[in-house]
Structure 1
Amino acid sequence: MPNPSPKTLSVRRVPREEALSSPSAGPATSRLNKRMAELGLCSRREADAWIEQGWVRVNGQVAGMGMQVTPADRITVDKAAEQKQQQQVTILLHKPMGYVSGQAEDGHQPAVTLIQARNHWKGDPSRTRFTPQQLRGLAPAGRLDIDSVGLLVLTQDGRVARQLIGEDSDIEKEYLVRVVWQGPQGEISQDVQAVFPREQLARLRHGLSLDGKALKPAQVDWQNPEQLRFVLKEGKKRQIRRMCEQVGLKVVGLKRIRMGRVTLGQLPAGQWRYLAPHERF
């Protein structure tokens, strides 16, 4: 039976004159799995699996593990890899309080234990049917603290994970954050907006540091007198809670409602749905 035709990725080939004029000894190289991830073909882990299966070719030759490539090299991927990738799922969960995002810790269950048929939202427009195979390699792309609720993305697709939590990710994450003001006259939980200093709000937007590193600018505004709306482009551990602590605020409720262009919407707490084919982060 003939092998399926490979999927070819168009990569700009460096002209010979440009290569010769480079001051370096030769074109820069990188590991094949890293290059494939940079091109958005797959994750590094997936790339290694495809290379091991013999599904990846460089300039027409079957690639070997750990191979070095240049931007001028032509990378092709067999249809078998593409078909396997299409079977991967991305799941949107409304994480309730009391569940951890990743591995079980301190006796608390991981959020992935909620991904079962009985918790599949009846309003999910997707026609995908749940199977236990969809749990294999399903991992959170971003975290929510045990005391936080809202949108948690779990995916089998390394491309989605890289887009949401990769080093170069620029995806917005939106949160609604209920706070109390721990001011000079004690704790204030009503009409916090009226007493919270404007200069401290400005610091939340830009000017704070965590772990010795300056934070990226954030969008922070009052949603109502007791609730702030945060839009971040990074996700350090307990970032919003730690930011608020630095300006005298205590977080008493935190809910993520959006990641990129995908919103929590009407998804009930403790239930999940599939990311639809037309949805993009």
Structure 2
Amino acid sequence: MKEPVRLAKRLAESVPCSRREAELYIAGGWVTVDGLVVEEPQFMVSQQKVELHPEATLVPVAPVTILFHQAADTDMSISSAQQLIRAETRALEDHSGIHLLKQHFVRLVPCVPLETNASGLSVYTQDYRVTRKLTDDGATIEQEYVVEVAGELPAEGLKLLNHGLTFNGKPLPPVKVSWQNETRLRFALKGVKPGQIAHMCKSVGLQVSSMKRIRIGRVSMAKLQAGQWRYLMPYERF
């Protein structure tokens, strides 16, 4: 029986390639052990069958951005996010073509928090460029919410929602608010602050029963189902 060795060492000897190249192949998800993908170069093997995918590349794994349909009242701390955003909850409609890797689920940074008690589109990223974009330009990136309301809107209520209300003692900038149907309002606004939408509705005599964010900038949640996620498409920009 062969003595167990690190997977990177076995692959380097069998391909052959350098140890560093072997580690890149393994981290990229291109190596199987007895038919199962293993992404850990330190994984110990002895007599198992080790194979390198014929289309394997040495290109380093690029950071990813994940779009997640978060349910209302969900604890989305980093530890909770890692439990909810996993291989099993990836949407079948993910057409990004990105090869799923375990390392896509580590070092994810949450961006653009949802409104208080809202559901909908959440963003988690490994890409510092996305983090910087959503942080530095957060006040100018438009977000779209669909808000289910109850109550009677006064005659000037819709006009006030669009412009004329205050929040935390300060005038709110103009926003775009319109009826989507008899009980649902569409809010398109920038730099939304926690509690702002509910406060705006209350100010005109409406009670909020639910809120869902469906868009951040130019990126839409589309048909992503609650509890599922997809990769940001290569061409999508916030």
Q: Secondary structure at the match of 1:160?
A: helix
The corresponding residue for 1:215 is: 172
What is the 5 A alignment of 1:79-98?
A: 87-98=62-73
Asked whether the equivalents of residues 86 and 105 of structure 2 are also in contact (C-alpha less than 8 Å), the reply is: no
The corresponding residue for 1:65 is: none
Give, as a single letter, the amino acid of the residue that structure 2 aligns with 1:205: N
Change (3 A) 1:208 1:101: farther
Distance 2:180 2:199 in 1: 20
Change (3 A) 1:205 1:239: same
Asked whether the equivalents of residues 68 and 123 of structure 2 are also in contact (C-alpha less than 8 Å), the reply is: yes
TM-score (norm 2): 0.68
1:62-81 alpha-carbon deviations (Å, 9 max, x no partner): xxxxxxxxxxxxxxxxxxxx
The corresponding residue for 1:240 is: 197
Change (3 A) 1:149 1:137: same
The corresponding residue for 2:109 is: 139
Change (3 A) 1:99 1:196: same
Q: Secondary structure at the match of 2:121?
A: strand
Provide the aligned C-alpha RMSD in A.
2.2
Change (3 A) 1:278 1:267: same
Give the deviation of 1:253 after TM superposition: 1.1
Q: Percent identity?
A: 44
1:166-205 alpha-carbon deviations (Å, 9 max, x no partner): 3564111111100011xxxxxxxxxxxxx41131221211
Change (3 A) 1:103 1:244: farther
The corresponding residue for 2:226 is: 269
TM-score (norm 1): 0.59
Give the deviation of 1:136 after TM superposition: 2.8
Larger relative contact order, structure 1 or 2 (CA cutoff 8 Å, min sep 6)? 2
Q: Secondary structure at the match of 1:164?
A: helix
For structure 2, the 5+ residue unaligned runs are 1-58
Distance 1:96 1:168 in 2: 22
Give the deviation of 1:112 after TM superposition: 4.4
What is the 5 A alignment of 1:5-154?
A: 87-102=62-77, 110-145=80-115, 147-154=117-124
Corresponding residue pairs, total: 180
Change (3 A) 1:165 1:200: farther
Give, as a single letter, the amino acid of the residue that structure 2 aligns with 1:113: Q
Change (3 A) 1:93 1:271: same
Distance 1:280 1:245 in 2: 34
Give the deviation of 1:138 after TM superposition: 0.8
1:103-128 alpha-carbon deviations (Å, 9 max, x no partner): 57xxxxx4443110000111111222
